[in-house]
């Protein structure tokens, strides 16, 4: 036998043996707790391009498509993934509410794997891509910005955005058709984050001139950045600087322009400190007002980095959730009618809902929460294991077991698995907003994470979506338009077609055609 071939075979055999031994040690380290034993890991980007292949890979988007089925098949709401070759790190998928509460509460044992978020720091350090003392410093400055005053501003600005849409875009048309609902919900969210986030009000038909020293308007820069965040995360800096295509050049320029606008806003706010205090209820003003502690003061790049994170988290999440909410209401006209009647009951004199009505719009909030349960913004919340530890869990049959978690392992808080877990949610695949009007399992609801790392912008997003949905439903009946290509389709087939999604930066609706009929 050729010596080179013999050497190659010997090396391959050695690699296979070492991988097998490492695999067996990993399985033993978790006491062979039920789960998947595969060739490829569940964590990296390569295997996400594979279909689901037993013993090879769980497949792309399996967390979303299978929801709670993996846990049902293995009999526990914590399952293990141990890979033999590529990426041998053990991963725990968790859909057990008590275990998730323990994991999100004990940050020292289960810290956030911030290395996965470093790509989000191209504007500057921020609250998402940090841990420990650095995270505490960011949170100390950022938390006060999400104030009651800002929530009121969010409501008022959302209402203005909707009134502008009705008056100057849709007018008095009896019927408005949209090919994809995100064509409406994305601008709504963009305009709200522009005003309540940055203090820059944007109109639907805004045609502002480009200011001196800029190549794009603020609206154009914000819109382009918000649309192409995922591209920016994937493109290396050197390629973006070279910008071999017109699209990449526009993305590069938009990010540069938005950063320049934010630097100018910082300078302008500091120069006018104390003036027009009401105009500083936006998030940007709140950050600057809170940034007076010499021990915790943020650099300008950190202020901009955190504002970018707020924009990224608030814009797409709110837009997609509002899209799903409208689609679910269109698919369930009886629930839409209940919502309409509940809003009319609050606004009896025909007036528009005010911020003071927010607590009374309980059914609208219930519809929102049921939307977030069925279509959570993210399908996985990552954590890491900082020390050898264990958690004790109980299954549906009442049996208990202890699951060892070795140091260096990864954890995926499995949001769809939790939200579709029949232990917590009766008939989980059914759209039933009323479940949120009585006592409901709060520890089994994870759209904004939980514990100290829970999303600071939760009330911002909820206020915006409730205001926008209430305005829309009060004025329009929302329906799925008939399509001659799908004549005779069943309700279930239509539901699956309209609600088809894919995980991205957030859960993304693929094609939601809607028609809005004036009431």
Helical (H) or strand (E) element with 302: helix 300-331
Q: Which residue's entry shows tokens 């060739």?
A: 39
What's the Rg (C-alpha) of the chain?
25
- Which residues have a Cβ under 8 Å from the Cβ of 326 and sit 6 or more positions away? 181, 185, 469, 472, 478, 512, 514
- What pairs with residue 403 in β-bridges? 391
Which tokens in the block code for residue 32? 């062979």
- 501: which strand partners? 509
Rounded Cα distance, 415 and 118, in Å: 23
Nearest Cα to Cα of residue 77 among 451, 483, 415, 482: 415
Q: Whose CA is closest to 223, among 263, 178, 275, 183?
A: 183
As a whole number of angstroms, the distance between CA 322 and CA 368 comes to: 8
CA distances from 427 to 419, 424, 499 (A): 11, 10, 18
- Cβ(67)–Cβ(111) below 8 Å: no
455 annotated as a binding-site residue: yes
- In sequence order, what E strands does 247-366 have? none
φ/ψ of residue 34, rounded to 5:
-55, 145
Residue positions in the annotated binding site for heme?
455
Residue positions in the annotated binding site?
455
């Amino acid at each position: 036998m050729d010596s080179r071939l013999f050497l190659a075979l010997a090396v391959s055999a050695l690699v296979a043996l070492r991988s097998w031994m490492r695999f067996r040690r990993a399985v033993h380290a978790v006491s062979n707790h039920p789960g998947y034993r595969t060739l490829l890991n569940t964590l990296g980007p390569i295997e996400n391009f594979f279909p689901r292949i037993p013993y090879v890979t769980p497949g792309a988007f399996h967390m979303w498509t299978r929801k709670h089925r993996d846990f049902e098949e293995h009999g526990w709401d914590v399952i293990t993934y141990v890979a033999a070759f590529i990426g041998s790190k053990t991963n725990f998928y968790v859909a057990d509410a008590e275990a998730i509460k323990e994991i999100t509460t004990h940050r020292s044992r289960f810290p956030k794997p911030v290395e996965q978020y470093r790509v989000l720091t191209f504007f500057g350090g921020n609250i998402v891509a940090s841990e420990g003392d650095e995270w505490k410093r960011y949170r100390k400055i950022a938390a006060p910005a999400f104030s009651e005053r800002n929530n009121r501003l969010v409501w008022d600005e959302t209402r203005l955005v909707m009134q502008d849409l009705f008056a100057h875009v849709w007018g008095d048309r009896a019927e408005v058709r949209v090919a994809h609902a995100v064509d409406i919900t994305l601008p709504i969210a963009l305009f709200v984050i522009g005003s309540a986030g940055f203090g820059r009000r944007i109109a639907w038909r805004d045609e502002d001139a480009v200011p001196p020293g800029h190549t794009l308007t603020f609206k154009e820069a914000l819109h382009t950045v918000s649309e192409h965040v995922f591209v920016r995360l994937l493109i290396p800096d050197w390629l973006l600087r070279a910008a071999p295509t017109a699209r990449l050049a526009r993305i590069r320029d938009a990010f540069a322009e938005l950063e320049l606008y934010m630097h100018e806003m910082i300078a302008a706010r500091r120069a006018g400190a104390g003036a027009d205090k009401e105009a500083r209820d936006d998030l940007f003003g709140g950050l600057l007002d809170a940034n007076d502690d010499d021990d915790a003061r943020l650099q300008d790049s950190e202020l901009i980095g955190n504002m970018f994170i707020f924009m990224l988290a608030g814009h797409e999440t709110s837009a997609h959730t509002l899209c799903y909410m409208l689609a679910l209401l269109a698919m369930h006209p009886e629930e839409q009618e209940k919502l309409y009647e509940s809003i009319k009951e609050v606004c009896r004199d025909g007036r528009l809902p005010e911020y003071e009505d927010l607590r009374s719009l309980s059914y609208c909030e219930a519809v929102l929460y049921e939307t977030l349960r069925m279509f959570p913004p993210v399908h996985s919340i990552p954590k890491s294991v900082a020390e050898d530890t264990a958690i004790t869990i109980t299954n549906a049959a009442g049996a208990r077991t202890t699951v060892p978690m070795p140091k260096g392992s990864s954890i995926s808080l499995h949001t769809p698995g939790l939200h579709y877990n029949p232990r917590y949610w009766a008939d989980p695949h059914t759209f039933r907003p009323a479940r949120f009007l009585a006592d409901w399992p709060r520890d089994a609801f994870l759209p904004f994470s939980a514990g100290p790392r829970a999303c600071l912008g939760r009330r911002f997003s909820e206020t915006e979506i409730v205001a926008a949905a209430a305005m829309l439903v009060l004025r329009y009946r929302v329906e799925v338009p008939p399509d001659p290509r799908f004549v005779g389709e069943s309700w279930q087939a239509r539901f699956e077609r309209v609600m088809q999604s894919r995980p991205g930066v957030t859960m993304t609706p693929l094609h939601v055609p809607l028609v809005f009929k004036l009431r």
